[in-house]
Structure 1
Amino acid sequence: MVNGSTIMPEKKELPEQVPTVVEVRTPARVHLGMLSFGVPTVRSFGGIGIMLDRPGVHVRLQKSEQFLARGPLAERALEFAQNCVSAWDLGAQAACTIEVVSTPRAHVGLGSGTQMALAVAAGMRQLFRPPLPEASAEADNDPTNDEWLFDTNDAIHCAQAVGRGRRSCVGVYGFSRGGLIIEAGRIVPATPGVKGEGVSPMVARVRLPSAWRCVIIIQRDSIGLYGELEKAAFARLPPVPIEISAELARLALMQLLPAAVEANFTDFSDAVYRYGQLAGKPFEQESLKLPHAASTADVIELLGELGVRGCAQSSWGPAVMACCESLDAAGTLVEKLESLNLTRQYEAIIARYDSQGAVLRSIS
């Protein structure tokens, strides 16, 4: 859904020749926070995310006689590929060499794990052609048929093979066509061992104005929670009060979403800040233990003093998104950060809000 209108990709037949080399480029993801979790009668893990054109994942896969991987996070990429072989029953002949050309730093709030997993799965799917869901519409309307975008069913099919989207699905939906995404969450039964609903449904996707930019500010020496530590943190957290969930839903659906649709930057920025501040409250019991908690709060306060209203931490941090109305405004903000010598301690990356999602290119 873009500005209230549903856009469906044109279906085309895939080329008969199966490629031997493909590459996939993905956007990055910021997560502004969850709507709720922990209340059995209320959907859990829904929330808001925004896709950015950088710093994304770039991988290249080539058919080979055995699995090999090189580059940053190569072992994770190899594990994702082997998950695909098992999930899709591809057989021993389905092997490839994976080159991780580039990827954001892991566990800083940019969704690199999900994007890496989906990129590898998309590459494996294109190289070895497992049976696809009936509704899959993989081809984009590029007349050369050398590049493809992905629809929602493609992204979910890939995510299921590599075990992503078990909590938030923002990165999965964002892999398909980018955008500002609001997902509703899913019902999680209170009884251990009882399987809940599957994929959290996406209730809105908006393409943000092409002129808008953001600056992603990331503390260089810190990472957020992930893996078993994150699971343990969720287990210790109390349920989100329904009153907070209600106010987050109001902010999302009555302020943030309309401002995005109407391209009202001032209201959008205000809603980003208010949503981010409130969404972080239920997590404070655990998030305040993180080494970057105080410095992240200081960065958000400083951004406000510099005139940037729309700023929020992504996920467990340390990444912070600062909204800017134009490229010039983003450049000015980075110059101010440099003048304060903050870029020694923090990366500052100017990004565009992505409205395309991941792209797969067939090299041969």
Structure 2
Amino acid sequence: MASQVPVSRKLKEFIINKQGVSVVTTARLHMGFFDLNGNLGRKFGSIGVSLDKPATSLQVFAADTISVEGPSAERGLKIAQAIAQSLDIPHGFHIRIQTAIPEHAGLGSGTQMSLAVGSAINQLFNLDLSLRDIAVLTSRGARSGIGLGTFAHGGVIVDGGRGEGTDVPPIIARSEFPQEWRIILIFDRSHTGVHGAEELEAFRRLPEFPADSAAILCRHLLMQALPALAEHDLPAFGQAIRELQWRTGDHFAPAQGGRYASPAISKILGQLEADGVDCLGQSSWGPTGFAICADETDARALLDALESRYSHFPQVEFVLCQGINSGAQISTCSVE
């Protein structure tokens, strides 16, 4: 990968035809790790689902220099420069970011931006990189392969965690997310989740996760969550996810200030649990929370109730969305 990439015939065609590459990818929920103990030789392992929104959408065109505009432009530029330097790409390019998943909200914004930028550059310069190559180039997939799985395939993704020789956690299962189910995202705009160096330090300081708890969570995943998805059984799926949330959330509590990162979202999720909502929790390090409903009618009724009940929380926003069972969209676009 270190040798200089020649200017391809394909890039020349893009320039002549005044075309570029468009990538649209969406956020994901990271619902929890099921083996934080790792005494079998693999650690982490997680389950997550691709969402239809919010999205990161961008366009990449050949240019004289490397430049980026739009939301999260600073992050996009760092990713672009790192890729160009690693591959010694001999031509500039401009990235126009149209929308970006909120940063440090627990929705996978960094991974999706990295894969989107990398995939666009790959297509523009005809580099023949795999998604795994892009992840390694951009230092993604350190603990979870959920973001790569949702970018590639959408749906509900289970990854197998990290072994001694793992560079990117392998995807070991995928399921369709039931089309009738709906997801309410709960944002706290005043709070950011643990990330970067703080995240690394948090993992270093956390105590050992009990092996018996990891065994219980693996059983909930294999014998409850995945069969429940196949049968569209939301109460059973929700029970498995709540178990993941309780055990991992309490394990992470010293690093994030409680079972959930945001006090406001913690209060909301506690009330939803008391009200009997089947499936709820926090995505990754948060602060974004989620609740899954059986259908559109139930979701809109719950959304109305939440907006009314918590109107005194100005920093909190509720967004209705759904799972998406397809991966990122990569296509040719015209230079405007």
**TM-score, with length taken from structure 2:** 0.89
Mapped to 2, the partners of 1:40 and 1:78 lie a distance apart of 39
Mapped to 2, the partners of 1:38 and 1:63 lie a distance apart of 47
Map of 1:37 onto structure 2: 36
Query: Which residue of 287, 297, 313 maps to 2:266?
Result: 297
Letter in 2 for 1:260: L
Mapped to 1, the partners of 2:276 and 2:236 lie a distance apart of 14
The answer for unaligned runs of 5 or more in structure 2 is: 1-9
Map of 2:230 onto structure 1: 261
- Do the aligned residues in 1 keep the contact of 2:35 with 2:45 (CA within 8 Å)? yes
Pairing of 1:1-364 with structure 2 (within 5 A): 17-18=13-14, 20-37=19-36, 39=38, 41-91=40-90, 93=91, 95-132=92-129, 154-188=130-164, 196-288=165-257, 292-342=261-311, 344-364=314-334
Say how many residue pairs are matched: 321
Which digits, 9 at most, give the CA deviation of each residue in 1:322-346, with x for residues without a partner? Answer: 0011122221111101111346231
Map of 1:6 onto structure 2: none
- The Cα of 1:351 is off from its aligned counterpart by 1.0
- Do the aligned residues in 1 keep the contact of 2:253 with 2:260 (CA within 8 Å)? no
Letter in 2 for 1:166: A
- The Cα of 1:114 is off from its aligned counterpart by 0.5
- Do the aligned residues in 2 keep the contact of 1:215 with 1:351 (CA within 8 Å)? yes
Letter in 2 for 1:298: K
Mapped to 1, the partners of 2:176 and 2:213 lie a distance apart of 27
- The Cα of 1:161 is off from its aligned counterpart by 2.1
Which digits, 9 at most, give the CA deviation of each residue in 1:138-179, with x for residues without a partner? Answer: xxxxxxxxxxxxxxxx42232122111121111011100111
Task: Give the structure with the larger strand fraction.
Answer: 2
- Do the aligned residues in 2 keep the contact of 1:222 with 1:291 (CA within 8 Å)? no
Which digits, 9 at most, give the CA deviation of each residue in 1:237-262, with x for residues without a partner? Answer: 12211111101101111100000011
Mapped to 2, the partners of 1:290 and 1:212 lie a distance apart of 25
Mapped to 2, the partners of 1:81 and 1:74 lie a distance apart of 10
Letter in 2 for 1:64: A
Cα pair distance change 1:307/1:17, threshold 3 Å: farther
Mapped to 1, the partners of 2:325 and 2:115 lie a distance apart of 17
- Do the aligned residues in 1 keep the contact of 2:11 with 2:126 (CA within 8 Å)? no
Mapped to 2, the partners of 1:316 and 1:326 lie a distance apart of 27
What's the % identity of the aligned pairs?
33
Letter in 1 for 2:244: Y
Superposition CA RMSD, Å? 2.1
- Do the aligned residues in 2 keep the contact of 1:60 with 1:99 (CA within 8 Å)? yes
Task: Give the structure with the larger helix fraction.
Answer: 2
- Do the aligned residues in 2 keep the contact of 1:183 with 1:204 (CA within 8 Å)? yes
Letter in 1 for 2:193: G
- The Cα of 1:57 is off from its aligned counterpart by 0.8
- Do the aligned residues in 2 keep the contact of 1:179 with 1:206 (CA within 8 Å)? yes
- The Cα of 1:276 is off from its aligned counterpart by 1.6
- Do the aligned residues in 1 keep the contact of 2:188 with 2:315 (CA within 8 Å)? yes
Mapped to 2, the partners of 1:215 and 1:79 lie a distance apart of 32
Letter in 2 for 1:99: R
- The Cα of 1:197 is off from its aligned counterpart by 2.3
- The Cα of 1:290 is off from its aligned counterpart by 9.5
Mapped to 2, the partners of 1:275 and 1:235 lie a distance apart of 21
Mapped to 2, the partners of 1:118 and 1:44 lie a distance apart of 23
Residue 200 of structure 1: SS of its match in structure 2? coil
**TM-score, with length taken from structure 1:** 0.83
Mapped to 2, the partners of 1:15 and 1:79 lie a distance apart of 22
Which digits, 9 at most, give the CA deviation of each residue in 1:291-335, with x for residues without a partner? Answer: 944333211111123442210111111111100111222211111
- Do the aligned residues in 1 keep the contact of 2:11 with 2:124 (CA within 8 Å)? no
- The Cα of 1:31 is off from its aligned counterpart by 0.8
Map of 2:6 onto structure 1: none
Mapped to 1, the partners of 2:200 and 2:238 lie a distance apart of 31
Mapped to 1, the partners of 2:11 and 2:184 lie a distance apart of 39
Which digits, 9 at most, give the CA deviation of each residue in 1:119-141, with x for residues without a partner? Answer: 00011011111144xxxxxxxxx
- The Cα of 1:89 is off from its aligned counterpart by 3.3
